[in-house]
Structures are given as structure tokens and as C-alpha cells.
Amino acid sequence: MGTDASSAAPLSLQECKVRASILLKDLDSPDAARAARAAERLRVLPGFAGLSLGEVLARKETVRRKHALAVIAREQGHATWVELRDAREGEAGTPGVDFEHLLSRVGGAHLNRWFTSHAEAAASLRAEGGFLFPYRAQFFVCEASLLRALGVDPTDADWARMGHDWMAPRDAEAQARLAAKLARRAASHVSPSPSQPRSLMSADESAQVPGRTSRRSELKRSYKEAPPPMGVYAVRCLANGKVLVGASANVQGMLNRIRFELTTGMDRLPALLEDWRRYGAEQFTFEVLDVLKPSEEPGVDTKEELAVLEALWLDRLKPFGESGYNTRGA
């Protein structure tokens, strides 16, 4: 399927990125008509405007993602991608906080209640209290202990001003101040939470154990040099054909986590768990759909690249409604 050049309603920033990736795939397509349409769209850029379609296609190896993003920006009525990005981020309203990164610092012990829709999460917040935040395509309500583990004061007056629902703030300025505090915590080291205690041995005692320190350093160095592959995964139910699609910076680790949650009855993915119980573990497969290779281009945001790759697979498999376990538009 090719990419439509423009639409009546402004596209979200994420959809703009997805369309840029599809444009690059179209340009490299063996389908001559599709490749020609992509080449024609590239000619809106000054660097390609004076070239024929054949010349653009002959130089397709020189086309980078920045060119595709610039095309989408032009089609959305902006002179540059930076201009479009700034406009969309200004429209977003909600301060950007990387909750996935924050939560990775403290582990999952503090996360109390998970939901696939904001309405369900808000109802739980009203009934049982806590703090409501987004997490990728889902929402969770946590207790004050999580905020304390993150180094944020749950009694801060701005929580009362904003309310405890991050998605429906009563005071935008209070939310912005809280977002700044959370962002600072994301950029700094967070101490281990009570659920992740330090070793009972002191540093001196640890150093006295032969090979302990050197082995730990070696493992850390090996992890940094060869991090786990990131990519897109799928969990399929063979009995009904439904599939769950997601992305993770540690794709195999996420599959292991989901398998563990299903095996132990954790209801973070309630619809999937219900079918797991109905059909049995032997009716499910866990697979890696795509792996994101590290970019050789400087300045590329791997999180954005991973999100785009996930969006492409969501568009391809459409795992929504009767066909899957994903929530559309989340």
C-alpha cells in the first residue's frame, strides 16, 4: 500500500513519522508505479526539484529519513520538519515525560492497577485513589510509594492543584512544574527502591570476594557493548487467530515477561489472559517480528525509530477488535 500525500485533518507527529518511513519503503519498492509516486513526492524538496523521476530513482540510495520527514512536513503545510515538529508538540498540551524510562528505574513492584483505556483507569482512580499515568498504549494507577521511589514528593502542593490524573490536569502550570521534576529524575540516577535492596555486603566486604568485582564489571561492560536486541514482537493465539503486537528495547525480554505474567495469572493484559486460561499455553506462540538495527546516522533517536517500526507492524497486522488484543488509537 502506498502513502497518501496529505489529508484534510492534520496528522499527529507519530503518524507523520510513520508516513515518512512508508515513503522510504515505497521509494525502494520493486513496484515501479509505487516507486515513481514516491520519487514524484520527493521533488517538492529543493535538492530534488530539478531532477526527473528517473534521476530521483537513480539516486534513491542517497535519500535519507530526513528527506522523507521534510516531504511530510511540506505536505502538512510546513517549510521544514523542525517547524512541523514544534507545531505538533505545541498542540499536544500535555508535557512530555518518558514514563517508560522512569519506571524502568524502579521496577514493577510499585505498579498497582493496569488498564487498557483511560476511562477504566479514571474510574479506578476515583474509586480507590492513587495517581494515574500513561504508559505506552496503556494506563496505570499507582500509589504514593512509586513517586517516592522516583524521588518525587507525593505531597507536593502541585499534585492537589493538578489533580492525580496526568491525562486530565486541572491546572496546566502545576502539571508543567511536576513534569519538569519528573524529567529531572529521569535524567538523574534513581536509588534502588525497597523492592530492589542493595547487597547486604559492604563495598569492602564485596571487594574481598575473589573475582566478584571484576566479574560484575565485566558483565556491565559486556551489556553496554552488546545490548539486547530491540524490536517488535507478537503473541499469537492459534485457537482464534488473535494477536498482540508491541515493541520493546529488549524484545526477547518483553516476550519472557509476558509469558511469565500469563503463567502466573497477572492481569496486565486481561483479554490475553482470559484466552490463555480458556485455550491453554500450548495454543500460544511468542515471536520476534522485526529487529531494529542500530542506525549508523548520528543523532537518530532509537526510541522514535522503534515507535515507527511498531506502527508499521500495527498497520500491517491490524491487531484490533476481533483480530487482536491491541487497543486502537491508544
Query: What CA–CA distance (Å, rounded) separates 168 from 280?
Result: 39
* pLDDT tens digits, one per residue of 214-272: 555 665 555 455 567 889 999 999 989 999 999 998 888 899 889 988 988 888 899 99
Q: What is the pLDDT of residues 277-319, one digit of tens each?
A: 999 998 999 999 888 877 666 666 788 888 888 998 998 899 9
pLDDT digits (tens, 9 = 90+) for 192-214: 444 443 333 333 344 444 454 55
Q: Where are the beta strands (DSSP E) in 83-229?
A: 111-115, 131-135, 138-142
Chain-wide mean pLDDT for the chain?
79
Q: How confident is the model at residue 45 (pLDDT cuts 50, 70, 90)?
A: very high
**Looking at residue 39, what is its pLDDT?**
93
- In this structure, which topology does domain 230-323 adopt according to CATH? GIY-YIG endonuclease (3.40.1440)
CA max distance for the chain: 72
39-57: average pLDDT: 92
Question: Which residue did the predictor score with more confidence, 53 or 199?
Answer: 53
Whether 12 has a pLDDT exceeding 90, the answer reads: no
On the CB side of 260, CA atoms within 13 Å amount to: 6
Q: How far is CA 51 from CA 30, 38, 54, in A?
A: 21, 14, 8
Mean pLDDT to the nearest integer, 23-51: 90
pTM of the model: 0.41
Query: In this structure, how many other beta carbons lie within 10 angstroms of the beta carbon of residue 45?
Result: 17
Q: pLDDT band for 176, please (50, 70, 90 cuts).
A: confident
Q: Give domain limits for the chain.
A: 13-92, 99-187, 230-323
